[in-house]
Amino acid sequence: MAEENVQYTEDNIKSLDWKEHIRLRPGMYIGKLGDGSSSDDGIYVLVKEVVDNSIDEFVMGNGKKINIDIKDGVVHVRDYGRGIPLGKVKDVVSKMNTGGKYDSRAFKKSVGLNGVGTKAVNALSANFTVESIREGQLKKVSFSKGEVTEDSKLVSTDEDNGTKIFFIPDKEVFKNYKFRPNYLDKMFWNYCYLNRGLTINYNGNKFFSKNGLKDLLENNMDGEPLYPIIHLEDEDIEVAFTHSRGYGEDYSSFVNGQHTTQGGTHQSAFREAIAKVIKDFFNKYEPIDIRQGIVAAISIKVIEPVFESQTKTKLGSLEMEPNGKSVRGFVMDFLKEKLDNFLHRNPELVQQMENKIKQSEKERKELSGIRKLARERAKKVSLHNKKLRDCKIHFNDFKSELREETSIFITEGDSASGSITKCRNVKTQAVFSLRGKPLNSYGLTKKVVYENEEFNLIQAALNIEEDMDNLRYNKIIVATDADVDGMHIRLLLLTFFLRFFPDLVKKNHVFILQTPLFRVRNKKETKYCYSEEEKQEALKIFGKNSEITRFKGLGEISPDEFKNFIGEDIRLEPVLMSQDHSIEEILEFYMGKNTPDRQNFIIENLKVEEDKLDEIKEAV
C-alpha cells in the first residue's frame, strides 16, 4: 500500500550533473560492469571508447600508429592524430553532447556519434588525464571521478601532434577487476584487420594487418581451411569466408570498425545472402548444409549507424544511410555479383566447397531420426528427473534487460546442485545436475551427442540442437569440486563443448566457477579465501588463532554461504582459446591416449599437497 501524506513538491525534483548520472547509471553508458571475465565487461568498453577516437583520426588520414600500454589496471593510449583543439580539451571529456563527430564533414562514418564515450571513461575512472599536442603546444587536464583536479596552462613542446589519455578504472565501480590479455589482444587485432596500414604497439608487441579480413580468418581459424579463403570487397563492404572441418557457424561482423558481437541486420543479411547465392549457383542444397562449418567475417560502413545500445554490439540500422538502400539489399546485391562471379571463375575451389556441403547434408540426414528420438527422450527425462532447474529469463529473450545476466550452472551431484538451487537468483540463474562423469567424447562423431543421455540433456537444456542463436543462457558455468575428480569432469565437459559446439567457447559463453578453498574467521569477521596466498593474508589480518575451514567440495558449502559466491561477488574464470594451438591439438594432448608428456605436464602444473601426487598420477 502506498504511504499516505507523501509530499510531491519542487524539492522532490532533482537534476544530476553529467558525472553523477553516469556513476549512478553506468549501465546506460557502458553496458554491464563485470570484472573483466567477459569480453564485453565495462573495463574493456572504457578502453574501446578511448581507442575508438584514435581510430577515427586514422580513418580521416591523421596518424598511422597508436601506442597502448595496459599494466596493473592502468591504461595509457597515445595517438598521432591532429590532437583535440586546445581550447576544447576539457569540454570534450567532461561536457555532454560535445564532440567533433556531430559535424558529418569531419566524421562521415565514425564509430561513435553521440559524444558520450570519453565522458563515461572520465566519470568511471579513479584518475583520468587527457593531453593534447597541437603545433608545438600542449594542454593537459586531469580528473578524479569526473571532477577536475588539475587544469594546466598551455606549455610549449617538441612532441608530435596527437592525443594522450591515461586512466585507472574506479575500483568502487569495477570491483575485483582484471584485464585479460586475450580479450585485449583480440580487440587490438580487430582494429588492425579493419584498418589496413594502421600499427598498434601494445605492451611492446606490434599489431599490423596487410590483408584485412583475410588475415583475420587466417589468424583465428581453428586448423586449416578446407579451401582457400574467399576474400571480396567493394566500397563500404568487405567479406571473407571459407569452410572448416568443424561444426556450427562462426561469424565475425563489424560496422564502421565496431565489433558487433551480437550481430545485427548486416550479419543476418550476410548469413542469408551467402546461402542463397551458393544454393542458386549449384541449384540445390539447403542453407543449413551450406552454412555448416562456415567461418566468415563481414565489415560494412554505414552513415549514422543505429545500434541497439551504447556499447554498440548489435546493429539495428535497416538502411545504409538515411533514405538509402536497405542493409539487406546492399549485402545481397554485393554477394550476388561478386561471389557468383568468383565461383564461376574458380571451379577447383567450388568442388572442394561442394564436397563439404555434401558431407554436411549426408550427416544431417543420417542424424534426423536420432535427433527426433533424442528430443523426445530429453523432454521425458527433464520432466521426471528434474535435471534442469530453469530460470525465468533466457538469453534469447531480447526484450529483457536481464538477458546478459542469464547463466546456467552445470554441477556434479545432488548436494552441490541443491545448495546452488536454494540460493540462486531464480530470474537469471539455472542449475543442471550431472549424474556421474560424462563420456570422453574426443574422437567421437556428433551421433554421440544424441545417443548419450547426459550430453543429449545438456544440449537440450542449452537449446542449441538446431542453432547457436537459440542459446538460452549467456553464461555456461562449470561448477565442479576443486579436486582430481572435479578437474576430470571439467575436462570432459570442455572436451564436449570444444568438439561439437566450439562457438560456445569462441564466443566467450563458457566459464569456470571459482569457489573458496578456505574460510578464515575470528569473533568479528569472516573472509573466504580462494588460494593459499589469500589465506595467509587473512591470517596476517585476523591473527594466527583464527578458525580455518578447508572446503573439500561444493556439497560441503551450505546454501547460506553459497549465496556469497554466486551473487554480485561471483568469481568466474573464462575459458579462452589459445592462438598457439588448434582445438584438435589441444584435445589430442589432454584427452587423447595417455602419454608421459601429458602426465608430466599435469603434475608439474598442479600446485597440490604432496600426499595427493600419487592420486593424480593414477588419474592421468
Q: Are 177 and 243 contained in the same domain? A: no
Q: How much is the average pLDDT of 140-156? A: 93
Record the pTM: 0.79
- CB burial of 377-415 (b: ≥16 within 10 Å; e: otherwise) equals bbeebbeeeebbbbbebbbbeeebebbbbbbbbbbbbee
Residue 430, domain CATH: 3.40.50.670
Q: Which amino acid, residue 619?
A: A
Q: Are 353 and 290 in contact (CB under 8 A)?
A: no
Q: Which amino acid, residue 124?
A: L
Taking only the tens place, the pLDDT of each residue in 107-147 is: 555 555 445 788 999 999 999 999 999 999 999 999 999 99
Specify if 501 maps to a domain: yes
Please report the pLDDT score of residue 225 as a whole number: 92
Q: Are 548 and 520 in contact (CB under 8 A)?
A: yes
Q: Are 355 and 423 contained in the same domain? A: no
Round to whole Å and give the CA distance between 233 and 460. 39
Q: Which amino acid, residue 309?
A: S
Of the residues 208, 243, 272, the one at which a domain ends: 208
In DSSP notation, 57-88 reads HHHTT--SEEEEEEETTEEEEEE-SS---GGG
Q: How confident is the model at residue 475 (pLDDT cuts 50, 70, 90)?
A: very high
Specify if 417 maps to a domain: yes
Q: Residue 453 to residues 79, 168, 450, 617: CA-CA distances in angstroms? A: 55, 49, 7, 30
Residue 240, domain CATH: 3.30.230.10
Specify if 442 maps to a domain: yes
Specify if 7 maps to a domain: no
| Residue 74 φ then ψ, to 5° | -110, 130
Least confident range of 295-309, 331-345, 503-517, 586-600: 586-600
Least confident range of 1-5, 15-19, 65-69, 244-248: 1-5
Q: How many domains does the chain have?
A: 3
Specify if 461 maps to a domain: yes
As to burial, measured by CB atoms within 10 angstroms (0-12 exposed, 13-18 middle, 19+ buried), residue 322 is exposed
Specify if 586 maps to a domain: yes
Least confident range of 174-183, 226-235, 463-472: 463-472
Q: Are 332 and 399 contained in the same domain? A: no
Owner of C-alpha cell 581510430: 55
Residue 183, domain CATH: 3.30.565.10
- Alpha carbon 348 to chain centroid distance? 37
Q: Does the pLDDT of residue 590 top 70, yes or no?
A: no
Q: Does the pLDDT of residue 60 top 80, yes or no?
A: yes
Specify if 464 maps to a domain: yes
DSSP-derived letter for residue 585 is H
C-beta atoms surrounding 429 within 10 Å? 26
Domain that holds residue 414: 386-515+551-593
Q: Are 343 and 467 contained in the same domain? A: no
Specify the higher pLDDT residue, 78 or 454: 78
Q: Which amino acid, residue 103?
A: D
Of the residues 171, 188, 208, the one at which a domain ends: 208
Round to whole Å and give the CA distance between 138 and 140. 7
Round to whole Å and give the CA distance between 462 and 379. 13
Q: Does the pLDDT of residue 620 top 50, yes or no?
A: no
Q: Are 467 and 339 contained in the same domain? A: no
Helix (H/G/I), strand (E/B), else coil: 432? strand
Q: Are 60 and 188 contained in the same domain? A: yes
Q: Are 277 and 408 contained in the same domain? A: no
Q: How much is the average pLDDT of 346-351? A: 96
How many residues make up the chain in this entry?
A: 620
Q: How much is the average pLDDT of 184-211? A: 95
Q: What is the CA radius of gyration of the chain?
A: 26
- Alpha carbon 505 to chain centroid distance? 9
Round to whole Å and give the CA distance between 576 and 202. 20
Q: Are 186 and 221 contained in the same domain? A: no
Q: Are 157 and 100 contained in the same domain? A: yes
Of the residues 185, 208, 231, the one at which a domain ends: 208
Specify if 491 maps to a domain: yes
Round to whole Å and give the CA distance between 183 and 592. 29
Q: Are 176 and 250 contained in the same domain? A: no
Q: Are 182 and 279 contained in the same domain? A: no
Round to whole Å and give the CA distance between 400 and 351. 45
Owner of C-alpha cell 519542487: 10
Please report the pLDDT score of residue 614 as a whole number: 46
Q: Are 398 and 481 contained in the same domain? A: yes
